[in-house]
Amino acid sequence: MRYSGLKVITEGLFGNKGWGPAWRNPTPKAEYDAIIIGGGGHGLSTAYYLAKNHGLTNIAVLEKGYLGSGNIGRNTTIVRANYYMPGNSEFYSHSLKLWEGLEAELNYNVMHSQRGQLILAHSDGQRDTLARRGNAMINQGDDAELWTLDQVKDFAPYLDFAQTRFPIYGGLMHKRGGTARHDAVAWGYARGADRRGVDLIQNCEVTGIDIENGVVRGVQTTRGAIRAKKVGMVVAGRSSQVAAMAGMRLPIESHVLQAFVTEGLKPIIDSVISFGMGHFYISQSDKGGLVFGGDLDFYSSYAARGNLPMVEHVMEAAMTLMPMIGRAKVLRSWGGIMDMTPDGSPVIDKTHVEGLFVDAGWNYGGFKAAPASGWCMAHLMATGESHEVARRFRLDRFRSGHVIDEEATGSQHNLH
């Protein structure tokens, strides 16, 4: 069923009885051409682009819970392409272009809102770094504007400009940055993949990966064995455990990242604002809640909930940046499990097993990457070659030294 404004009106007139389920609920077949393990944003977009760009339709997505039950529904929804490092820059640029056409592509309202993202500078050095980053973004073909203090004051007068501890020197505005409705991205890709014949199989946990003579043959699941010529592991949050089924160790430490939302308020913050000193970022949802987050809790965790010290730290950063936020009441907080790699950049690559591919290590930046991650993973699985914008996301780059250290904090565990 194609969604349209006319359809909404006619359904409204006739009691909304004509809406069907957005996707089927198929039973798994005995064999597929390709299997994607993981029904999150990246897994669903991989399936969608395998079907759409490469004509592979005899494929299944296996999800141990329900579709979109992981980080795609647990993030702060920021979409941006403001990376500096070669490897990241072209990849996120490609992803943002896909975002810009996503709603028409999927016939699904993902509420992508290019409301702009402003990163603040709090020292001369930080402003120079932002200028350099802005130049890299412009060279990549994306947009960036280096803003003076007066421009920031005009744009966001509610920031605390009087404080002396972290004075605001200016900022970098990325006007094509913004937010999107996170669940809708998973649902849009799921519906799109289903319409192209992909089997989305929920409540189906993979318990083993069958490998014979170095070639993948299929997977064992809680709903029986399924054969497949190609298998993609796209399971952020449990990447290490799934890879272990294929005898692999991944360069990943799993950490918890918390996020928060306040009660609904009248419109006040009409863009995404990142506080350069405190690792704090905030936007306002269409429903009115202020959505914000900070840094990792900084210890290995699979708990999907954090501890109070980081809650306090994030609230302090919020109060430092915009004291008015102290009047808002926090409604909820939650945590997501981040695949942290040593250099803070992801992996989309083949493995030592023929036909087995891995898409993992998205750190705390996986949401905005979902379209391009699926695009590139699908390209890799279909053609056996890395896509040109993802060719640096190699699994062996730590051993070879070709790291992509976006934060420039070093490339070992525990620094990002």
Our CB check for another protein shows the closer of 163 and 241 to be: 241
Among 2, 165, 329, 399, binds another protein (CB under 8 A): 399
CB of 63 to another protein, least distance (A): 18
| Angle formed by the axes of helices 366-383 and 182-195, nearest 10° | 20
Among 76, 93, 179, 240, binds another protein (CB under 8 A): 240
Rg over alpha carbons for the chain, rounded to the nearest Å, is 21
Our CB check for another protein shows the closer of 247 and 384 to be: 247
| Candidates 142-150, 175-183, 215-223, 293-301; binding stretch for another protein (CB under 8 A) | 293-301
Q: Which of residues 51-110 bind another protein (CB under 8 A)?
A: none
- Which is it for strands 253-264 and 272-275: parallel, antiparallel or unpaired? unpaired
Residue 413 as a binder of another protein (CB under 8 A): the answer is: yes
Contact (Cβ atoms closer than 8 angstroms) between residue 189 and residue 206: no
Q: Which of residues 300-319 bind another protein (CB under 8 A)?
A: 300-303, 307, 309
Q: Which of residues 326-345 bind another protein (CB under 8 A)?
A: 342
User: What residues are paired with 254 via a beta bridge?
Assistant: 339
Our CB check for another protein shows the closer of 199 and 339 to be: 339
Among 17, 165, 249, 266, binds another protein (CB under 8 A): 249
Our CB check for another protein shows the closer of 66 and 302 to be: 302
Q: Which amino acid is at 54?
A: H
Residue 159, both tokens: 């920031």
Full DSSP string of 230-276: EEEE--TTSHHHHHHTTT---S-EEEEEEEEEEEE--S---SEEEET
CB of 180 to another protein, least distance (A): 29
Q: What kind and span of H or E run contains 194?
A: helix 182-195
- What Å distances lie between residue 107 and 10, 38, 222, 241, CA to CA? 18, 23, 33, 35
| Candidates 127-135, 206-214, 252-260, 350-358; binding stretch for another protein (CB under 8 A) | 252-260
Site track 19-58 with another protein (rule: CB under 8 A), x = hit:
----------------------------------------
Our CB check for another protein shows the closer of 42 and 255 to be: 255
Q: What is the largest CA-CA distance in the chain?
A: 67
Q: Which amino acid is at 394?
A: R
Our CB check for another protein shows the closer of 178 and 294 to be: 294
| Candidates 64-72, 154-162, 186-194, 292-300; binding stretch for another protein (CB under 8 A) | 292-300
Rounded-to-integer distance, Cα 271 and Cα 369, Å: 19
What are the b/e assignments for 77-110, b being 16+ CB within 10 Å? bbbbbbbbbebbbbbbbbbbbbbeebbebbebeb
What are the b/e assignments for 194-215, b being 16+ CB within 10 Å? bbbebbbbbebebeebbbeeee
| Beta-carbon count within 10 A of 341 CB | 27
CB of 367 to another protein, least distance (A): 22
Our CB check for another protein shows the closer of 69 and 107 to be: 69
Q: Where are the beta strands (DSSP E) in 114-169?
A: 117-121, 145-148
CB of 30 to another protein, least distance (A): 30
Q: What kind and span of H or E run contains 18?
A: none
CB of 333 to another protein, least distance (A): 15
Among 3, 155, 166, 298, binds another protein (CB under 8 A): 298
Binding site for another protein (CB under 8 A): 238, 240-241, 249-254, 298-303, 307, 309, 342, 398-399, 412-414
